[in-house]
Amino acid sequence: DGGITQSPKYLFRKEGQNVTLSCEQNLNHDAMYWYRQDPGQGLRLIYYSQIVNDFQKGDIAEGYSVSREKKESFPLTVTSAQKNPTAFYLCASNRGSGELFFGEGSRLTVL
């Protein structure tokens, strides 16, 4: 079955540590996205990529980094520069427009 796989589902981090969230899709989609979800707020776009080896900052890119070395993969690194990283992170993909297909999310908690 085609879909988007995010891992890990739950992640705990000590302050000052970098962590990387994995996102893999087998939908053959060109575009991939990372969103952050906080309670009572809509999804906020962190980074997006329309094509391999290219990505763009979203609304809240500070403290995050991404790479897009393969079409199927779009990992997100939450760096120590992100001051409030505790959140639910959602990866999504589409053909470049239209319906977004989402993964199941990764919940990051900073201890």
Partner 1 sequence: GEDVEQSLFLSVREGDSSVINCTYTDSSSTYLYWYKQEPGAGLQLLTYIFSNMDMKQDQRLTVLLNKKDKHLSLRIADTQTGDSAIYFCADDVNNNDMRFGAGTRLTVKP
Residues that bind partner 1 (CB under 8 A): 4, 6, 31, 33, 35, 40-43, 45, 48, 50, 56, 59, 90, 92, 96-105, 107
Could you tell me the smallest distance in angstroms from the CB atom of residue 96 to partner 1?
A: 6
Q: Which is nearer to partner 1, 85 or 103 (CB)?
A: 103
- CB-based contacts of 98: which residues, under 8 Å, 6+ apart? none
Q: Find the shortest distance in angstroms from Cβ 6 to partner 1.
A: 8
> 17 vs 62, which CB is nearer to partner 1?
62
* Contact indicator for 51, 26 with CB cutoff of 8 Å: no
Q: Which two tokens stand for residue 71?
A: 């079409």
Cα–Cα distance measured from residue 47 to residue 14, given in angstroms and rounded to the nearest whole number = 23
CB 47 within 8 A of CB 59: no
Q: Which is nearer to partner 1, 11 or 31 (CB)?
A: 31
